[in-house]
Structure formats: structure tokens, C-alpha cells
């Protein structure tokens, strides 16, 4: 046999580079569910069921196209439980000339693949993942010699290079960024469309049963299960977004409403990150919606920026800075992750809502992740490794290449400002402005100090006070430190006392 082609669980694309020039007469495809990957962290039950079902459907599609495929299920008697073990079994069975695989999404998997040539005495052809707009090498060259690696300039470069939302040499509409128009708070009686809910077929039912049996102690609810698990279903979910939600996405992409976890977001990160959708087709579809007058520019630009800009940028940062990036902790945060991140049992209603919705859906939108859950982790000084592990566990779209830079750099400022120009810290006023969570909270968002005050209010100032030596030179924090330095000793002591009381309760 000529080639053994390994397809990983986030490479469910029929045009994946490892399948280029596939010869059914000489090549063979290997896909496998392995215990090592399902338990590397204790992934959300729904995340495992989603990926296993999507993988099984994809293998079925390959077989229907006449592509010889071996699919190893988790409970197969001879399953070794690891990628290396399954590749070795396939090598022994098929005697290929070489192993072909597309560049993986996680550093530890890359290191494992790189060991196979020597361990198994076989050539390994690792091909670029051309589903992304830029490669890690391209990003490395872009980053070389720059004093700062700001996403905005990277994004503009990709807009120009790919001629996306461009009017000649200038951005469409005359501005690169419409973020200021994408921060409207929610309004009373807002009508949010129902999210996509896929049909559960026999394959998915078997995956749900498998996860219930083998991963019962993992976080999260298995049902209701609503994810797309095939490309056709993912395309239908994309259609529903453009038809029902896209027009209001820009205005309300930062808004949060109790009982409305899906809001006007697309919910396609699951499908982009596992390969059922291609980012190029999604960006082009959004661009067409603008030129066809189906959606306003602020919605289209904001959506494209998340995919063409942010998604590509964090992947570039990940591969540029790994493996050292996983150990970053510039603010020396050491507190353990509070127990309520697993249960939602907290009197802080905003946290309770976001955690319980995450538990149910394996999803929360980006402002819930950044400005509620992440903001709390930042202000409370929670250990970055524990926060990273939690985000990797609980979200069905979380792979390390996208999760780690978002958490370490964007949420926790643990990389000392390499990714974000300032910490994304906020008091309760921000959450109150962008949501209705505060209406049903045990704490009072208008109170700054005392047992009934919103903890975000005093934790915000305590964060800046205890990190003053590390942050006071940041010009974007001049206003914050100016206000802090004008506070009376009595006010600062009240902040410190409230924070110490609250954080000691967390520790206990």
C-alpha cells in the first residue's frame, strides 16, 4: 500500500490536504476514537458526543464515495486508546510506504506525530492545513521584527491580501473597524430566533449512549443535543443564521439576556473548528450578504473580523509562542478555580447564568466567556492553567490552538500584554449595561462596597491595586490608575477589606 492517511477529529473536510491526490487503489484512510484524546482533559459530555458523531458520519461519507476507510470506535476490542497505538496497528496491518496527515491543531499532537518516523521506521508526510487563510510560517514572517503583534494590523493585511470588503485600496465604507457600532445593550421584549436543532439519527443516538456509559463523571448535560453532525446540516445551520440572525448580529453581538444563551450569534464555531465548514466559504457568504443588501456593514464587518481576523490571529500566536505560551502567568495568579465553576451554585447571577448555560449547551457566546466568566477569573487572580483547562473542557468548539491564546492572552493578560493591549477588566456596571442579569441578582450592582455590593465592583479596583507595580506603566490604564490614586485611604481600605472577605470565602 502506498499511503496510510490519518484524519483527525478536527479535520472533517472532504478537501483536507491529506486527501489530495488520494488513490483508492493504493491508499487507505484511518480514523479513530481514542481514550487519550477524550480524556486528555475531562471534556464536556456533549462535546465528546458531538465530535464522535461528526467523525462517524464523515467516515460514512468517505466510504460512500468509495474511499477505503478503517474507522476505530472507542469500544472496539483492540482499540489501543492512543493515536500512536492505532497508527502502529494500521501500519502492521497495511504495510504502507508512508503515513500522511494534515498539520494538527494542538502542539502535543504535533509532537506525537513527529515521533512516528523514528518510532515506526516510516516516512511521515505532514501537510499544511490549507483551510486557514495563513500558515504558521506566514504568521511567523509577519510577526518578525514587529514591536507589537496587534490583531488589528494583521486583520487589515488579510483584508487587503484577500480583497475582502475592499473598495479599491480602501476598506469598504471608509473604515476598517465598526466595533463601536456593535455594542448596543439588549432591549425589553427583544425577539430572539430559535437556534438550529439538528435531527438525532441512529449514529448520534449511539454516540450519546456511549458517552453516557463511558464518560458519566464528565462535566455537562448530554441532552438536549442540538448540534449539526454533517456538512449538510452545518450548511443548513449557516443558512438559518444568515436568514434569521445576521442582520441584528452586529448591533447586539455583545448583549446578554437571561434565558437567551444563543442570542444573534451564528453558532458555527463548532463546525468551523472541526472542519464541517470552511472559513473561506463563510467569509465569502457574509461579504455577499453585504453587497446584496441583506445585512448592514457593521454586522458584516464584525462577523468577518471574528473569522478572518481573530480566528486566524490566535492560531498564529499559538504556533508562534508554543510550547512556552502554555506556562505564561505574568500577573502571578495562583488562586484555585472556585467550585461553583462546575455547579453554577453562586449568588452572583451573571456567573450562575453563564455557567449553567455552558453546562447545558457546551456553548456561551464571546462576551459571556470574556466579560463575565473571564473577567471574574482575571479579577479574582485564578491560576491560568486551571482557567485554561476549564475553558478547554466545557466548550464544544474548544481546541487548544484557539482556546489557549484567548484565555491566556485575551482573558487573563497572563502573557504580559503580547496579545491584548490592556487587561479586559470591568466592574459590575459593564455587565449591568450589556445584560439584564443584575435584575435578578442577590447583590446590588449600584453598591460599591459592603456585603451586598456587587463583587465585581470592589474586585475591579482591588485587581488594579494589587497589580499596580506590573500595570501602572500601561498608557491605556492611565485613567484607571488616576482614579485609584485619587481615592481616599478610607475608600481603598474598604475595597481591600471587601475583596479580602470575598476571596477568602472563595478559598474556603
Domain limits of the chain?
A: 3-127, 136-193+245-321, 340-507
DSSP codes, 253-315: TT-BBTTBSSTT----HHHHHHTSS-HHHHHHHHHHHHHTTSS-HHHHHHHHIIIIIIIHHHH
pLDDT of residue 210: 98
- pLDDT for 217 beyond 80: yes
pLDDT of residue 198: 85
Q: Please write the tens of the pLDDT for every residue from 312-366.
A: 999 999 999 999 999 999 999 999 999 999 999 999 999 999 999 999 999 999 9
| The CATH classification of domain 340-507, taken from the options 1.20.120.140, 1.10.579.10, 1.10.1060.10, 1.10.3720.10 | 1.10.579.10
In the chain, the largest separation of any two C-alpha atoms, in whole Å, equals 80
Average pLDDT over residues 66-70: 97
- pLDDT for 398 beyond 90: yes
Q: What rounded mean pLDDT belongs to the chain?
A: 96
Residue 354: is the preceding peptide bond cis (ω within 30°)?
no
CATH code of the region 136-193+245-321: 1.25.40.80
Alpha-carbon distance of 400 to 15, in angstroms, equals: 23
- pLDDT for 1 beyond 80: no
pLDDT of residue 453: 98
CATH code of the region 3-127: 3.40.50.620
The pTM score is: 0.96
What is the band of 86 on the pLDDT scale with cuts at 50, 70, 90? very high
What is the band of 199 on the pLDDT scale with cuts at 50, 70, 90? confident
**Percentage of residues in the chain with pLDDT exceeding 90?**
96
Alpha-carbon distance of 406 to 360, in angstroms, equals: 22
- Would you give the DSSP letter of residue 82? S
Alpha-carbon distance of 37 to 369, in angstroms, equals: 24
pLDDT of residue 183: 86
Q: Please write the tens of the pLDDT for every residue from 415-456.
A: 999 999 999 999 999 999 999 999 999 999 999 999 999 999
Average pLDDT over residues 50-61: 98
Amino acid at each position: 500500500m502506498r499511503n496510510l492517511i490519518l484524519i483527525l477529529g478536527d479535520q472533517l473536510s472532504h478537501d483536507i490536504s491529506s486527501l489530495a491526490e488520494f488513490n483508492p487503489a493504493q491508499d487507505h484512510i484511518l480514523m479513530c476514537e481514542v481514550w487519550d484524546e477524550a480524556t486528555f482533559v475531562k471534556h464536556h459530555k456533549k462535546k465528546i458526543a458531538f465530535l464522535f458523531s461528526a467523525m462517524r458520519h464523515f467516515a460514512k461519507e468517505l466510504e460512500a464515495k468509495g474511499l477505503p476507510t478503517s474507522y476505530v470506535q472507542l469500544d472496539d476490542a483492540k482499540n489501543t486508546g492512543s493515536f500512536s497505538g492505532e497508527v502502529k496497528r494500521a501500519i502492521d496491518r497495511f504495510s504502507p510506504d508512508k503515513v500522511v496527515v494534515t498539520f494538527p491543531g494542538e502542539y502535543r499532537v504535533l509532537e506525537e506525530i513527529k515521533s512516528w518516523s523514528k518510532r515506526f521506521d516510516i516516512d511521515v508526510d505532514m501537510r499544511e492545513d490549507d483551510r486557514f487563510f495563513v500558515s504558521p510560517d506566514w504568521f511567523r514572517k509577519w510577526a518578525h521584527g514587529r514591536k507589537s503583534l496587534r490583531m488589528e494590523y494583521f486583520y487589515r493585511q488579510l483584508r487587503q491580501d484577500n480583497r475582502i470588503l475592499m473598495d479599491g485600496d480602501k476598506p469598504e465604507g471608509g473604515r476598517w473597524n465598526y466595533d463601536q457600532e456593535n455594542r448596543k445593550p439588549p432591549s425589553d421584549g427583544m425577539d430572539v430566533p430559535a437556534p438550529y436543532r439538528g435531527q438525532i439519527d441512529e449514529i448520534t443516538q449511539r454516540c450519546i449512549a456511549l458517552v453516557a456509559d463511558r464518560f458519566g463523571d464528565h462535566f455537562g448535560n448530554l441532552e438536549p443535543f442540538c448540534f449539526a453532525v454533517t456538512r449538510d446540516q452545518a450548511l443548513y445551520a449557516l443558512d438559518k443564521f444568515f436568514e434569521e440572525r445576521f442582520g441584528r448580529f452586529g448591533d447586539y453581538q455583545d448583549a446578554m439576556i437571561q434565558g437567551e444563551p444563543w442570542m444573534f450569534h451564528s453558532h458555527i464555531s463548532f463546525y468551523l473548528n472541526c472542519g464541517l465548514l470552511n472559513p473561506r466559504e463563510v467569509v465569502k457568504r457574509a461579504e455577499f450578504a453585504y453587497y446584496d443588501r441583506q445585512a448592514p456593514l457593521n454586522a458584516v464587518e464584525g462577523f468577518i473580523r471574528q473569522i478572518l481576523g481573530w480566528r486566524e490571529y490566535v492560531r498564529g500566536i499559538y504556533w508562534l509562542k508554543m510550547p512556552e505560551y502554555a506556562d505564561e502567568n505574568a500577573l502571578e495568579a495562583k488562586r484555585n478555580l472556585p467550585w461553583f465553576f462546575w455547579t453554577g451554585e453562586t449568588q452572583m447571577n451573571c456567573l450562575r447564568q453563564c455557567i449553567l448555560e455552558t453546562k447545558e449547551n457546551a456553548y456561551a457566546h464571546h462576551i459571556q466567556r470574556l466579560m463575565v466568566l473571564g473577567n471574574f477569573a482575571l479579577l479574582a487572580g485564578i491560576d491560568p492553567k486551571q482557567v485554561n483547562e476549564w475553558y478547554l473542557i466545557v466548550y464544544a468548539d474548544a481546541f487548544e490552538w484557539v482556546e489557549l491564546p484567548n484565555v491566556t492572552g485575551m482573558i487573563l493578560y497572563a502573557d504580559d500584554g503580547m496579545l491584548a493591549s490592556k487587561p479586559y477588566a470591568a466592574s459590575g456596571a459593564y455587565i449591568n449595561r450589556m445584560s439584564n442579569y443584575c435584575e435578578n441578582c442577590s447583590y446590588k450592582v449600584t453598591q460599591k462596597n459592603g456585603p451586598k455590593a456587587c463583587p465585581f465592583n470592589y474586585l475591579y479596583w482591588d485587581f488594579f491595586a494589587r497589580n499596580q507595580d506590573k500595570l501602572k506603566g500601561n498608557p491605556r490604564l492611565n485613567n484607571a490608575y488616576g482614579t485609584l490614586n485619587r481615592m481616599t485611604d478610607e475608600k481603598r481600605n474598604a475595597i481591600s477589606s471587601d475583596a479580602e472577605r470575598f476571596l477568602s470565602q472563595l478559598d474556603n
